[in-house]
Structure 1
């Protein structure tokens, strides 16, 4: 068998390398899909969305699998994971980009008098609980011998140690809960998925719909385009080592306080 035929044989019989981006319908998640496809990082790229009119659905690439999913519905998470399991692939990258700060009448609280239980529950359901349910269902797919990463977009305002301004009760608390969920997941994964690295990421203030109403006082040099944000986060992910599992990283690779 000559070299060319041998390479083709290996290519046909090796397990495909797969990645999953949740919350890929817009913003940072959508840009992760775009850059991963451009960089040819995976043989298969699964991307979940909630809005059926998302730009994601206009992408044309044989490697891309677009799957509808609402992260607040555990049955939908389980359904997506079951679909991924049907493909003979090795999942090596998961990036959860789902998050909510404001939506319709839902706005971050400036003081205690603005707190409402329904809004708090929504923050936790989207920003915290959905991520740990994803970690629960995806665990079997990370029990392989290749290095893999489970990353979730968090926020620096979720750092209790860094909180100097107050306000934004629900968003801050739900991101702090997310960090705890992922720290605890990392500890369990060390036993069940020893090659998996679990981290939370602060992307910096990025020019997306999530941050747009709150950009007035952000210096231009600290407001990142989505392509810059994703480039920076991919650099952080590429540099992760096993000892980094369970840590909280900023866009520039700095470790953030809990």
Structure 2
């Protein structure tokens, strides 16, 4: 897709987690099209999505409105806890840590970003999820904590989309699966899966987000815009 005016309505975007591989690539892609991008991250701005006080402080200091807010935070390993291969390796703290970062964090961003989303024109609020969060598509088992956290964020964002549809009728509030992207996040686990560069992933994600309408709110979509079963 050429670097032209790819978004029919977008001028301003907020990327949460712009210091990461995907978040940074999406920010760069948008800037190349003339979009004004504001980025927030833990490493650059001290934004900790696992701490609601931090989220409220960071987002409360912004004025908006933003035509796009993308939450690109997350982790596959937290404090050295690797994805579980069996039930006997399941650890309560690892499970709670995953849920806090990958599910609670994004919905806390949405909670405190409502004032940054326009009510009178189209807008998008998107969260990076993962196909392994699909309960229907789970045929291999394992990865308990990460799967549960992604299934959790899917439910939280879908539920919020129902509520926000009443106050923000032109908003598309969605979860997106970016594919397996070549980042530090996936380096140890991507050997058996086809991967794409962060730049390619960003191009695909921006293409999907640029086509979203209010009728798409509450959906779980992949990088090609296809719905993933819950």
Q: What TM-score does the superposition give when structure 1 sets the normalisation length?
A: 0.83
8 Å CA contact 2:170–2:213 kept in 1: the answer is: no
Report which of the two structures shows the higher radius of gyration computed on alpha carbons.
1
Q: Superposition pairs for residues 76-225 of structure 1, below 5 Å?
A: 76-85=54-63, 89-218=64-193, 222-225=194-197
Q: CA shift at 1:216, angstroms? A: 1.6
Structure 1 regions of 5+ residues with no counterpart? 1-15, 53-66
Q: CA shift at 1:143, angstroms? A: 4.2
Q: CA shift at 1:177, angstroms? A: 0.4
- Cα distance in 1 for residues equivalent to 2:191 and 2:144: 20
* Worse-matched range after superposition: 95-104 or 113-122: 95-104
**Which residue of the partner structure matches residue 247 of structure 1?**
219
- Cα distance in 2 for residues equivalent to 1:185 and 1:103: 26
Equivalent in 195, 198, 208 of residue 236 of structure 1: 208
Task: Say whether 1:33 aligns with 2:27.
Answer: yes
RMSD: 1.4
1:47-73 CA-to-partner distances (Å, cap 9, x unmatched) read 111124xxxxxxxxxxxxxx3301001
Secondary structure of the 2:188 match is helix
Q: CA shift at 1:90, angstroms? A: 2.3
Secondary structure of the 2:48 match is coil
Secondary structure of the 1:149 match is strand
- Cα distance in 2 for residues equivalent to 1:111 and 1:166: 8
- Cα distance in 2 for residues equivalent to 1:110 and 1:159: 18
- Cα distance in 2 for residues equivalent to 1:178 and 1:128: 4
1:117-169 CA-to-partner distances (Å, cap 9, x unmatched) read 11111000000001111111111222431210000000000000000100000
8 Å CA contact 1:200–1:247 kept in 2: the answer is: yes
8 Å CA contact 1:143–1:194 kept in 2: the answer is: no
Secondary structure of the 2:15 match is strand
Secondary structure of the 2:159 match is helix
Secondary structure of the 1:21 match is strand
8 Å CA contact 2:65–2:118 kept in 1: the answer is: no
8 Å CA contact 1:139–1:193 kept in 2: the answer is: no
Runs of 4+ in 1 over 2 A off after TM superposition: none
8 Å CA contact 1:179–1:248 kept in 2: the answer is: yes
The structure with higher relative contact order (CA 8 Å, sep 6+) is 2
Structure 2 regions of 5+ residues with no counterpart? 1-9
1:176-231 CA-to-partner distances (Å, cap 9, x unmatched) read 0000001001000001211211010000010011111012212xxx3110000010
- Cα distance in 1 for residues equivalent to 2:196 and 2:185: 13
